[in-house]
A and B are shown apart, each in its own frame.
Chain A
Amino acid sequence: MRVTEQIDALEIMGVNAPGYLISPKIIAGVSMIPLLTIISVVLGLGGGYLACLTSHDIPTTLYLDGLRDGFNHVIVTVCAVKSISFGFIITSVCAYFGFYTSGGALEVGQSATKGVVYSCIWILFADLVISSLLL
């Protein structure tokens, strides 16, 4: 959008372009990544149950007991904190690089790469910090 002057067009109309373009992405990331995490957790546990049910190697009652015994509420907290933080990092880092791209098609590609690389690095770092603080 920067390269094709669309951000300039927003600014000329008096729109606060960073707020207008970046905040919806961050809201989406912070709310949807946790939702995706919940879905993946439910699918994972449900998949385990189904596997027990079809293979008959482990009785399903044993599986459910195992789930209950091994449950530690801290894991849920860590899961929630991580998914929210990672959602924030992915969207804000990528939006930052996108917003300040200048030049042409080449720079757009470079910014996309930078966005992915930097968000990966930040996620590893946040992972370390959150795990060492909460676990």
Chain B
Amino acid sequence: MITVKDITKTFGENDVLRGISAELKSGKNNLIIGGSGSGKTTLLKCIVGLHEPTKGQVFFDEQNFTDMNFEQRVPIRTHIGMLFQNSALFDSMNVEENIMFPLNLFTNMTKAEKLDRANFCLERVNLKGKNKLFPSELSGGMKKRVGIARAISMQPKYLFVDEPNSGLDPKTSILIDELISELTQEYNTTTVIVTHDMNSVMGIGDHIIFLYNGKKWWEGTNKEIAHTDNKELNDFVFASKFMQAAKAKL
């Protein structure tokens, strides 16, 4: 479980996050939603320590992560898997080397075992046999999937994914959602997903946090979201005519 206490983040004059508190439970898909520029990525980066919050604290299973120094954070970081919004694959390494990179750092596995693990992860994201391609030879959606494969290679306890579905076709998108959801339940992972995708919100949103104006504006489940009377959330989720029609039928 991850506990976020009163996180505030300011860039110069720009108050991006203004006192956000939340509990992100293990074994659940915790979704962070909100408009573009609402601070979703910033919140995610504050949680994992890539941005130091201006104020507030983050606890990983009761351990105060914010007050730790770099060395103290390393043991927790070995349990973190993260997919970045732009995939962030190492472009000097091929797909297989990218996935094996964390294994090389933190495990004593033999080369064959690491290769097996890499192949297993690639198979789960539907990229079997693409081992030797370099990031520059992949499409945007393929990069995302390799990014996911790298994030799950260590069987992380905490999984952070920033927009896993952007750039994917609807079918692959659902496949990725299902994969993340499966892993979350299988390994009791604390999964935090930043997304815009309403299919994901409705499909796997066990716990949804809606950011608006730098604050946690609404919190609930995908069942509750359809019946909420929160105006800003309704405007965000049911922005399209299609979604409004779908809501009317609910």
A residues whose Cβ falls under 8 Å from a Cβ of B: 4-6, 8-9, 11-16
- Across-interface contacts of B88 in A (CB, < 8 A): 4-6, 8-9
CB-based contact B86/A12 at 8 Å: no
Q: Distance (Å) between the CB of B34 and the closest chain A CB? A: 20
CB-based contact B50/A8 at 8 Å: yes
CB-based contact A14/B73 at 8 Å: yes
Q: Write the chain B residue with the least CB distance to A16.
A: B70
CB-based contact A9/B48 at 8 Å: no
- Across-interface contacts of A9 in B (CB, < 8 A): 82, 84, 88, 90
Q: Distance (Å) between the CB of A2 and the closest chain B CB? A: 11
Q: List 14 A-B contacts (CB under 8 A).
A: A5-B85, A6-B88, A6-B89, A6-B90, A9-B82, A9-B84, A9-B90, A12-B48, A12-B82, A13-B80, A13-B101, A13-B102, A14-B78, A15-B105
- Across-interface contacts of A5 in B (CB, < 8 A): 84-86, 88
CB-based contact B86/A4 at 8 Å: yes
Q: Distance (Å) between the CB of A98 and the closest chain B CB? A: 14
Q: Write the chain A residue with the least CB distance to B78.
A: A14
Q: Which parts of B65-99 form the interface with A (CB within 8 Å)? A: 70, 73-74, 77-78, 80, 82, 84-86, 88-91
CB-based contact A12/B70 at 8 Å: no
15 new A-B contacts, CB < 8 A, other than A5-B86, A16-B70, are: A4-B86, A4-B88, A4-B91, A6-B90, A8-B88, A9-B82, A11-B50, A12-B80, A13-B77, A13-B101, A13-B105, A13-B106, A14-B74, A14-B105, A15-B105
- Across-interface contacts of B74 in A (CB, < 8 A): 14
Q: Distance (Å) between the CB of A5 and the closest chain B CB? A: 4
A5-B86, A6-B88 known; A12-B105 Cβ under 8 A: no
Q: Write the chain B residue with the least CB distance to A11.
A: B50
Per CB-CB distance, the 3 closest pairs between chain A and chain B, nearest first, are A14-B77, A5-B88, A14-B74
Binary per-residue interface labels of chain B (32-54) against chain A in the complex, 1 for a CB within 8 Å, 0 otherwise: 00000000000001001010000
Q: Write the chain A residue with the least CB distance to B83.
A: A9
CA distance A24 to B121 in the complex (A): 30
CA distance A16 to B70 in the complex (A): 8
CB-based contact A6/B91 at 8 Å: yes
- Across-interface contacts of A6 in B (CB, < 8 A): 88-91
Q: Write the chain A residue with the least CB distance to B150.
A: A9
CA distance A8 to B77 in the complex (A): 12
Q: Which parts of B154-212 form the interface with A (CB within 8 Å)? A: none
CA distance A5 to B50 in the complex (A): 10
- Across-interface contacts of B82 in A (CB, < 8 A): 9, 12
Q: A4, A6, A8, A12: which has the most chain B beta carbons within 10 Å?
A: A12
- Across-interface contacts of A8 in B (CB, < 8 A): 45, 50, 84, 88
CA distance A2 to B78 in the complex (A): 21
Q: Write the chain A residue with the least CB distance to B50.
A: A8
CA distance A63 to B222 in the complex (A): 88
- Across-interface contacts of B101 in A (CB, < 8 A): 13
CB-based contact B77/A12 at 8 Å: yes
